[in-house]
Amino acid sequence: MTQLRVDHVSKDFALRGRADVLRVLEDVSLDICEGELIVLLGPSGCGKSTLLNIIAGFLQPTMGQVLHEDIPVSKPDRRRTVVFQDYALFPWMTLEKNVEFGLKAQGIAPAERTRIARSFLALVKLRGFEDHYPYEVSGGMKQRAAIARALAPDPDILLMDEPFGALDAQTRVLLQEELVRIVAATNRTVVFVTHSIDEAVFLADRIVVMSSHPGKIRSIHKVALPRPRTAETRSLPNFINLTQELWDSLKPQWHDEGANAVRSQHST
Amino acid sequence: MGSPRLVGLINAVLLPSPTALFWAASDLLRSGTLFRHVSASIERVLVGFALASAVGLTLGVVLGWFRTLSDFVKPLVEALRPIPPIAWTPLAILWFGVGNAPSYFLVFIGAVFPVFVSTYSAVRNIERTQINAALCLGATPTMLIWDVLIPGALPMIFPGLRIALGVGWMCVVAAELIAAQSGLGYMIQQSRLLLQTQFVLTGMIVIGIIGFVMNAVMTAIERRLVPWQESSKGT
Ligand SMILES: Nc1ncnc2c1ncn2[C@@H]1O[C@H](COP(=O)(O)OP(=O)(O)OP(=O)(O)O)[C@@H](O)[C@H]1O
Ligand SMILES: [Mg+2]
């Protein structure tokens, strides 16, 4: 069943000091089903974050609309929570208070909040760090806490914008495996942005490949890999083939676009 | 003219010896005069500072958040800001007579701008993603203000509060020189009229000490309320 529908969405940004606008997204349409893990994959600057921010309700589309269970999205709400690349934890709160934030917003009583927050911190393997401040824990732990914080208010959809982009390679792989486990445990719809092909194939049910200038959906790939996905998944022939296929189809485009981006920067 | 005794007398008036200062201070302490004046001044600075903090914080948060409103109000604030607090003294006396009110007012004028400016820029500088995070977690307006904007701005607000209290302390003394019947400024002014320079100097030293202590107290409060700031500076 379609839970979220991106319906002919375009987005223009006004350019400072210029009359014309920059078209960042053009006619993007996408149906996302309940419980699905969708990965948005594309080169830097193709509008992945913009699309995610429109889905979250942080930005309004210039044309088209986003429907969440048939109701147009007009502002952020707790049924679509976001995990950001730079964590965006509140540095003045302990990890537990961070996770409690969305629960407090719902008016849940303090004792109950604490109980729920602790269970989510346990889910992301942060038991024992409840009273730590974000500056006292590592980047990987911060991101786990951010995931717990986003899950705690029981959202329909988890939106993740390159959540593992700032982490080292090992931590990144570990967290990918954890995310797969957590998503399976909570049966949540996820929209996950990345520009790592590997990460996309490992996580996704469907990969939405985007191209840039303006941002469009270029192709959609179903990932036929069994779940649960584990470390072994990466050595399956299907994994290797799809990764290779995506590489081959994307490389020329990324190369061109890199060159285009440089050229257009020079001309402005 | 020029006789050694007269020079000695003038010097004692212009610049009393440390021993004279010591005895002056102990006189003032024992008679309770010093305590009375100090508590009058402190009470005034605290009241004025509290008013300034309330107004400066509110205005800073509101204008920091509502950009269009700030486009209208900010120029007005910026036009008032360069007027030295002392220049408000005649008006303060006209409006409030003598007593505590003009001192409250002058402390308020001195302290409100540092609080406002630091709060305003602090709120402006809060990371957009943190506000977005709060919004998507369903933050109510109350939570947005008390759990996000204010604590997020606190590390930048605190230096402003500290400066504001310092300026307020200078203003209270200046106000009391002219428009009060008690307080350290008043004590200094009276002693000057009576050529009791030792009391003038004692008053000045006490002003310095209290200013120093207030700053230290504010710094201690800052450390307690903003524990994440100190430790995150390095990273
Ligand atoms: N507020 C804005 N005003 C003007 N242009 C913007 C704005 N936000 C984004 N853009 C432009 O829109 C384009 C897409 O940006 P976006 O952040 O969505 O890309 P992205 O795919 O997330 O890239 P990355 O992988 O680097 O994060 C970029 O060219 C960017 O310069
Ligand atoms: Mg991005």
Residue A68, number of CB atoms within 10 A of its CB: 18
A76 and B154: CB-CB below 8 Å?
no
Residue B10 lies in a domain: no
B198 is in which domain, residue-wise?
Answer: 33-226
Report the number of distinct structural domains present in chain B: 1
CATH label of the domain that carries residue B159: 1.10.3720.10
What is the per-residue pLDDT across A214-255, written as a single tens digit (0 to 9) for each? 999 999 999 999 988 988 999 999 999 999 999 988 876 666
Taking CA atoms only, the protein residue closest to ligand 1 atom 18 is: A47
H helices of chain A, in order, are: 48-56, 95-105, 110-123, 139-151, 169-186, 197-203, 237-267
Nearest to A77 among B127, B132, B138 (CB): B138
Interatomic CA distance for residues B77 and B55, integer angstroms: 12
pLDDT, position A267: 45
Residue B7 lies in a domain: no
Nearest ligand to the CA of A41 is 1
CA distance A250 to chain B (A): 30
Residue B232 lies in a domain: no
- ipTM for the assembly: 0.88
Interatomic CA distance for residues B154 and B95, integer angstroms: 34
Nearest residue in B to A102, CA atom: B137
Q: Domain segments of chain A: what residues?
A: 2-79+155-267
Tokens coding B19? 């021993």
How far the first Cα of chain B sits from its last, in Å, is 69
Which residues of chain A neighbour B145 with C-beta distances below 8 Å? Answer: none
Ligand 1 touching residue A213 (CB < 6 A): no
Asked if B21 has any chain A CB less than 8 Å from its own CB, the reply is no
Q: What is the pTM of this model?
A: 0.81
CATH 2.170.130.10 for domain A2-79+155-267, yes or no, is no
Give the Å distance between the CA of B173 and the centre of ligand 2: 55
Residue B22 lies in a domain: no
B231 and A84: CB-CB below 8 Å?
no
Confidence class of residue A268 from pLDDT cuts 50, 70 and 90? very low
Nearest to A105 by CA among A85, A134, A79, A131: A79
Residues 6+ apart with CB under 8 A from B3: none
Contact A99, A145 (CB under 8 A): yes
Asked if B19 has any chain A CB less than 8 Å from its own CB, the reply is no
Nearest to A90 among B132, B148, B227 (CB): B148
Residue B235 lies in a domain: no
Nearest to B140 by CA among A82, A76, A154, A148: A76
Residue A238, number of CB atoms within 10 A of its CB: 13
Residue B45 lies in a domain: yes
What is the per-residue pLDDT across B158-201, written as a single tens digit (0 to 9) for each? 999 999 999 999 999 999 988 888 999 999 999 888 888 888 88
Residue B27 lies in a domain: no
B129 and A86: CB-CB below 8 Å?
yes
